[in-house]
Amino acid sequence: MKKRKSFERAVSPVIATVLLVAIVIVIALIVFFAFRGLIEESITKFEGTNVKLLCSEVNFEATYYSETLGITNLGNIPIFEIKVKESKGLSSTTESLSKKSSSWPDNGLIEGDSFSDNIAFDADKITLIPVLIGNADDGSLKTYVCEENGKDVELS
């Protein structure tokens, strides 16, 4: 019986090096994009103060009587916008107040400023959530929603 000669084929060192470099680049890109999504762009206001820290200083009062919504900014942080979360039973929807009312001021409520408008809500309860505006890292204006500073307003 004749023995067969086995020819072993191997990958050349150049191709192996190129493959290893390509794999390292792909892994580095995956890690980069994964961490890039975790890092938030900071939004600042008042000479570099992070807008998240200013959310705790937002102070406003809200009333609702006879389908008239009234909001007064009692603090010294301007409120750019208000998000309205309407809750009825187990469901809820959130929408900007400027979409519900054409009289919301374009520049928001500065300190001591008030807003009032007739708005009908089809909900059991509304939560008013302030939105602040500040400068992003790239110099553009960005908004930040202060979720933890919402005010619940009972509807009768």
Same domain, 70 and 25: no
Cβ proximity of 62 and 79 under 8 Å: no
Same domain, 50 and 127: yes
Same domain, 96 and 33: no
pLDDT of residue 28: 95
Residue 5 inside a domain? The answer is no
pLDDT tier at 29 (50, 70, 90 boundaries)? very high
Q: 82-110 pLDDT, tens per residue?
A: 998 988 888 888 888 888 888 888 888 88
Same domain, 58 and 110: yes
Same domain, 18 and 93: no
Same domain, 94 and 114: yes
Same domain, 34 and 48: no
SS3 112: coil
Percent with pLDDT over 90 in the chain: 13
Same domain, 15 and 79: no
Residue 103 inside a domain? The answer is yes
Domain that holds residue 34: 10-39
Same domain, 14 and 83: no
Quick one: average pLDDT of 9-21? 86
Cβ proximity of 82 and 129 under 8 Å: yes
Residue 7 has pLDDT above 90, yes or no: no
Quick one: average pLDDT of 51-74? 86
Residue 63 inside a domain? The answer is yes
93 torsion bin: left (phi>0), alpha (psi -120 to 50), beta (else): beta
pLDDT of residue 76: 86
Instruction: Render 75-86 in DSSP notation, one character per residue.
Output: SSS-B-EEEEEE
Beta strands, E only, 11-150? 44-45, 49-50, 60-65, 68-73, 81-88, 91-96, 114-118, 125-135, 141-145
Same domain, 27 and 83: no
Residue 69 has pLDDT above 80, yes or no: yes
pLDDT of residue 4: 61
- Nearest CA to 129 among 78, 82, 96? 82
Cβ proximity of 150 and 125 under 8 Å: no
